[in-house]
Structure 1
Amino acid sequence: MMEAPVPPTSRPLRKLGFLTIGLFDEEDPRRGHESTLEIIELGERLGFDSAWVRHRHLQYGISSPVAVLSAASQRTRRIELGTAVIPLGWENPLRLAEDLATVDLLSGGRLNPGVSVGPPMHFDQVKGALYPNTADAEDFGYGRVERLLDAVRGVPVTDFSGTEGFETFSDRVQPHSPGLGRRLWYGGGSLRSARWAGEHGMNLLTSSVVKAEAPHGPHDFAEIQLSHIRAFRAAHPDGEAARVSQGLVVIPTDSASPGQRARYEKYAAERTPRTAAPQGPARLLFAPDLVGTSQEIAERLHAHAAFREVDEVAFALPFTFEHEDYVQILTDTATKLGPALGWRPGD
């Protein structure tokens, strides 16, 4: 039986990526990090355009995505490598700029750093170790991103340069990677963040979480996310050509075993209640996880108002699955779901 044709999107899917958290066992952390690198290598073999890693501090997930992607850059040749996202509240922007430029050069210009702002999670409990003398003076707002942007883009960070004795000094961050400044992403879930990212010439990462800022419903996730995308592009110098990537949780089941399908459906069902209404004081609204055959998922995505507005995605892998589950999900995504969305694998 022939599959029913899927209605075309307003923007054909141009880039297909995936996002992983890189969980590990505290007793054997190397194995978890190796698993993440193997998944990225698999992604390249399957033709994915990008692989992204999450960032977790004081948890059992990747705490140093730049280091992990440095390793991945030496085990891959084509796939773009991104962070989604580095919370800048934990970082010194100048030092981070040095690391990002170094890895970008080592990767041949494939790095896509995504960042966000705000105080570190559980700041009151961690500030004594993180900022023992400056916690009250730290700027956790957009100014921290501006410092990173300037450093990456080659704006002078000191008024001293030249030769001193046998050493030569630069007034800007070294090494400098010329294209990296155009590949910086902001992970935003609010209208304000979307506009700010556009005004500052960044790319926009959208995810499965948005802020339901209107005090009264109805609250439609796709429509809220669509409003963010349009506000971002309206503020961006590149206008409609400004890059936006969407990161919903997507789990195709075409080649999954009955046991895998049951676990996937249970995982999604347990997370579904949080999608019914805004959650917590921040009024966060979560998108439902998409579980089903590639054809079923494609039909739901083509009906998603925000998906219809983008031509890049980085579908998020679920947090707690096993390595073989990720292999199955990525294989189905590349061989079945991607083509159903009009995508074609890279060389």
Structure 2
Amino acid sequence: MPQSSRPLRKLGFLTIGLFDAAEPRAGHESTLGVIELGERLGFDSAWVRHRHLQYGISSPVAVLAAATQRTSRIELGTAVIPLGWENPLRLAEDLATVDILSGGRLNPGVSVGPPMHFDRVRHALYPDTSEAEDFGYERVSRLLGLVRGERVTDFRGTEGFESYSDRVEPHSPGLGRRMWYGGASLRSARWAGEQRMNFLTSSVVRAEESEDFAAIQLSHVREFRAHHPDGERARVSQGLVVVPTDSASPGQRAKYEAYARQRLPRTAAPQGPARMLFAPDLVGTSEQIAERLSAQPAFREVDEVAFALPFAFEHEDYVQILTDIATRLGPALGWSPAA
């Protein structure tokens, strides 16, 4: 097997936390149970993905607040919060609060751009300011400054019996170093590096100068590090859909393979006006998946991954997949579980 030039140091997983609209608590409890299992299996991080007006987690920060009280070691991340739906000041307060509750384990990942289906939700989301809202990088810059402790107001002191701060409270000093940007373009990779953020690269990239997914992703990793003050030490996490079948039942194996086949056609060419290019899902034994990952140039340049769990599977499927990742795939990639 070809060896990675960077031994796998951190292993994480990502879930969207689906639920039944008629009984939403069960799905949220399942997500929390999966995070607890991840900690027991030795994973370094668990990430949740944002889903607005869908039957997936709409409030990952709230879910992770609950997870802080059920775990003690595993890092907790968002991949990603679309900032077009957020007020940066209020989000900064929530992130800092959850980071304090977790003991400094929160890894917030964010992205920019107009909210999905903005023309249909703009009047509910921004009834008076939809034309004036800035959905670009400036929104992330505001959040970064607020999280890192920049002044919000020119007043600090006591008024009557109450004391006021001029920055977001609570302030969590290390949180600013654990902010991630989820990017799919060279421009985003460059900007994230210049802002001293960490970089999340996933199974979706923008086909700008090539239609070769692996080459595009590699160019993003290198562009980010070329513009980050930490250079080659700058943190990059790769996220692909990975489904090991080592301990899967025949029925599970058939379901996983059918899922990957159904999604495979979208990987053949860039999709839509934005020319988004998708990576194929990796389904097979841990040995087979490790072989395919080690052949990927972008994987060979990272030492952190957050493998995405497939959508719409059952809780017992996620237990099997996570167990195989932690006990078979991770070690095959040179990773050791946390104590």
- Same fold by TM-score greater than 0.5: yes
Q: Corresponding residue for 1:266?
A: 258
> Is residue 225 of structure 1 aligned with residue 217 of structure 2?
yes
- What do the CA deviations read for 1:193-213 (whole angstroms, capped 9, x no partner)? 000000000000000000001
Structure 2: distance between partners of 1:202 and 1:78: 23
* SS of the residue 2:19 aligns to: coil
Structure 2: distance between partners of 1:147 and 1:36: 30
Tell me which of 329, 335, 339 is aligned to 1:343. 335
Structure 2: distance between partners of 1:281 and 1:295: 37
Tell me which of 32, 56, 59 is aligned to 1:61. 56
Residue correspondence of structure 1 range 1-347 to structure 2 within 5 A: 6-214=1-209, 219-347=211-339
Structure 2: distance between partners of 1:282 and 1:7: 34
Q: Structure 2, unaligned stretches of length 5 or more?
A: none
Amino acid at match of 2:214: A
TM-score, normalised relative to structure 2: 0.99
Structure 2: distance between partners of 1:278 and 1:305: 20
Amino acid at match of 1:243: R
Amino acid at match of 1:301: L
Amino acid at match of 2:121: V
Structure 1: distance between partners of 2:290 and 2:239: 15
Structure 2: distance between partners of 1:8 and 1:59: 40
* SS of the residue 1:136 aligns to: coil
Quote the offset at 1:8 in angstroms. 1.7
* SS of the residue 1:178 aligns to: coil
TM-score, normalised relative to structure 1: 0.97
- What do the CA deviations read for 1:218-266 (whole angstroms, capped 9, x no partner)? x210110000000000000111000000000000000000010001000
* SS of the residue 1:52 aligns to: strand
Structure 2: distance between partners of 1:314 and 1:286: 16
Quote the offset at 1:7 in angstroms. 2.6
Structure 2: distance between partners of 1:127 and 1:277: 31
* SS of the residue 2:300 aligns to: helix
Q: Structure 1, unaligned stretches of length 5 or more?
A: 1-5
Amino acid at match of 1:285: L
Deviating more after overlay: 162-171 vs 287-296: 162-171
CA-atom RMSD, angstroms?
Answer: 0.6
Quote the offset at 1:184 in angstroms. 0.2
Structure 2: distance between partners of 1:158 and 1:315: 41
- What do the CA deviations read for 1:254-291 (whole angstroms, capped 9, x no partner)? 00000100010000001111111111100000000000
| Same amino acid, percent of matched pairs | 82
Quote the offset at 1:116 in angstroms. 0.3
* SS of the residue 1:163 aligns to: strand
Q: Corresponding residue for 1:3?
A: none
* SS of the residue 1:132 aligns to: coil
Structure 1: distance between partners of 2:155 and 2:227: 35
Structure 1: distance between partners of 2:173 and 2:66: 21
* SS of the residue 2:193 aligns to: helix
Q: How many aligned positions are there? A: 339
